[in-house]
């Protein structure tokens, strides 16, 4: 079997990741130091797939401007889902771009080449000619994701957010699908006019053969803001962060991509694992790591402490600041002596409050503070907000708000 076409579903906004997704789509949020979608494309290319279609929608210009017509010498084809009407509907938009079986993945879930290869191989070698082959992972808790009931390699049930005590394998979101899946998608109505790919596969289970292959590869999902911390931890643990990984010895960088090697003061302390993009600056006495990713042109000033954080490009951490369990957007500026002590905290996502979420703070694009600001665990600050010197903040701060001390 020749390599199948690949379809990446990357049209969603990611409302539960607001306010980070106010100006960019969910797949373009950072996994360590580069977009999650870039890691997904790496897995496909490393897995030998050379016919790739991206289904884009919300923020599609950001995706197309970043990747262009080719990625790692592999041509990219774009199709648009004008209205987000479910993952099945997104797949149907790509039907004319694929010929024969297609491998479908999500643009906001980390997978690796080994898992991709396992699914392709299992599908091609199956004697049953299954309608679909799915990747399955052993995970202790699948309650927030999708679960599979598998018997003798055959999928008997696929359940979203299972709540019973049966043994489920995690649905890893890697699907090798035969063309008849498109008819199954069109036959389902998942409510509110939406068509779910999972519901279509569930229909195939009732009518046809759906197989599962167990894999043991990297997998992580970006659903909530703190998931970006978990994704970065997984990437750093796996050695797949993507850009310059700094060794534990002070000074010097083991590897960087592109011009502008980071500037690291000889008295700074780097605790592995840490990923650092070009043009970053880490000042004297600063302590960075473990599990920290610094995007391009991030500055960590003298004697600041940064632990378990994802700091997007152009972020500035002031002198003597303490920042833990934090995700920032682009162009965030924390003043001298500001403190984010870390999680867990209670975080409001839409109408739901998540208790004891592992998040110190989420600071959207261009948030600034005047220094000496204290952030309660779980604080979420909207884009463009300014926090005055000495302020204490908690809960959710709306975009463009000015908080006085």
Say what the pLDDT of residue 247 is.
45
Q: Return the number of other C-beta atoms located less than 10 Å from residue 145's C-beta.
A: 20
Q: Cα 78 to chain center, whole Å? A: 20
pLDDT tier, 252 (very low <50, low <70, confident <90, very high otherwise): very low
Choose among 3, 205, 223, 36: nearest CA to 102.
3
Return the H-helix or E-strand segment holding 275: strand 274-276
Q: Is the pLDDT of residue 1 over 90?
A: no
Compute the distance between CA of residue 396 and CA of residue 378 in angstroms, rounded to an integer.
9
pLDDT at 359: 95
Burial zone of 330 (CB within 10 Å; 0-12 exposed, 13-18 middle, 19+ buried) = buried
Does 244 have pLDDT greater than 60? no
Q: How far apart are CA 182 and CA 272, in angstroms?
A: 46
Domain definitions of the chain by residue range: 5-221, 245-403
Distance CA 209, CA 128 (A): 7
Asked whether the predicted pLDDT for residue 255 surpasses 50, the reply is no
Residue entry with tokens 């679909």: 132
What does the block give as tokens for 187? 């036959």
Joined together, the tokens standing for residue 170 give 């995690």
Q: Which CATH number fits domain 245-403: 2.160.10.10, 3.40.50.1000, 3.40.430.10, 3.30.460.10?
A: 2.160.10.10
pLDDT of 389: 95
- What digits encode the pLDDT tens for the residues 15-72? 889 999 888 899 999 999 999 999 999 999 999 999 999 999 998 999 999 999 999 9
What percent of the chain lies above the pLDDT cut of 70? 95
pLDDT at 157: 85
Cα–Cα dist 131/211, whole Å: 8
Q: Is the pLDDT of residue 319 over 80?
A: yes
Distance of alpha carbon 172 from alpha carbon 110, whole angstroms: 9
The average confidence (pLDDT) of the chain is 89
**Rounded CA separation 322/1 (Å):** 54
pLDDT tens string 157-213: 888 888 888 888 999 999 999 999 998 899 887 777 788 898 999 888 888 789 999
Q: Does residue 246 surpass a pLDDT of 70?
A: no
Tell me the residue ranges of DSSP E strands in 116-257.
Answer: 132-137, 146-151, 154-160, 169-177, 210-214, 220-221
The pLDDT assigned to 254 comes to: 41
Does residue 241 have a pLDDT over 70?
A: no
Q: What per-residue confidence (pLDDT) applies to 286? A: 96
Distance in angstroms (rounded) separating the CA atoms of residues 185 and 104: 14
Rounded to two decimals, what is the model's pTM? Answer: 0.90
Instruction: Report the run of H or E that residue 316 belongs to, with start and end.
Output: strand 316-317
Topology at the third CATH level for domain 5-221: Spore Coat Polysaccharide Biosynthesis Protein SpsA; Chain A (3.90.550)
Question: Does the pLDDT value for residue 243 go beyond 60?
Answer: no
Place of tokens 């980390």: 110
Per the model's pLDDT, the better-predicted residue between 280 and 140 turns out to be 280
């Amino acid at each position: 079997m020749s390599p199948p076409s690949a379809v990446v579903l990357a049209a969603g906004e990611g409302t539960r990741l607001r306010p980070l997704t106010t100006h960019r789509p969910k797949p373009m949020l950072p996994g360590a130091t580069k977009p999650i979608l870039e890691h997904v494309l790496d897995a496909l290319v490393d897995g030998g797939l050379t016919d790739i279609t991206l289904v884009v929608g919300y923020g599609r210009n950001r995706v197309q401007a970043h990747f262009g017509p080719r990625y790692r010498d592999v041509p990219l084809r774009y199709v648009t889902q004008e209205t987000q009407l479910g993952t099945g509907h997104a797949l149907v938009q790509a039907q004319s771009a694929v010929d024969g079986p297609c491998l479908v993945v999500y643009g906001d879930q980390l997978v690796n080449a080994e898992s991709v290869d396992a699914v392709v191989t299992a599908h091609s070698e199956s004697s049953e000619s299954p309608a679909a082959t799915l990747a399955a992972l052993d995970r202790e808790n699948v309650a927030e994701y999708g679960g599979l009931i598998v018997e003798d390699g055959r999928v008997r049930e696929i359940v979203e957010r299972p709540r019973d005590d049966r043994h489920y394998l995690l649905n890893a979101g890697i699907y090798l699908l035969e063309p008849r899946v498109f008819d199954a998608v069109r036959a389902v109505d998942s409510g509110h006019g939406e068509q779910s790919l999972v519901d279509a596969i569930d229909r195939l289970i009732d009518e046809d053969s759906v197989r599962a292959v167990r894999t043991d590869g990297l997998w992580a999902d970006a659903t909530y803001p703190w998931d970006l911390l978990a994704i970065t931890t997984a990437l750093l643990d796996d050695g797949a962060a993507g850009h310059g990984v700094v060794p534990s010895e002070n000074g010097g960088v083991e590897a960087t991509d592109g011009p502008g090697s980071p500037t690291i003061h000889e008295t700074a302390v780097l605790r592995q694992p840490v990923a650092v993009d070009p043009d970053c600056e880490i000042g004297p006495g600063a302590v960075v790591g473990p599990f920290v990713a610094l995007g391009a042109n991030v500055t960590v000033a003298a004697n600041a402490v940064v632990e378990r954080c994802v700091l997007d490009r152009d972020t500035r951490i002031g002198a003597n600041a303490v920042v833990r369990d934090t995700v920032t957007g682009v162009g965030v500026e924390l003043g001298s002596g500001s403190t984010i002590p870390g999680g867990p905290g209670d975080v409001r996502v839409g109408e739901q409050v998540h208790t004891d979420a592992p998040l110190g703070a989420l600071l959207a694009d261009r948030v600034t503070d005047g220094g000496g600001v204290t952030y309660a665990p779980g604080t979420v600050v909207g884009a463009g907000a300014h926090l005055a010197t000495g302020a204490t903040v908690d809960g959710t701060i709306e975009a463009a708000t000015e908080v006085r001390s």
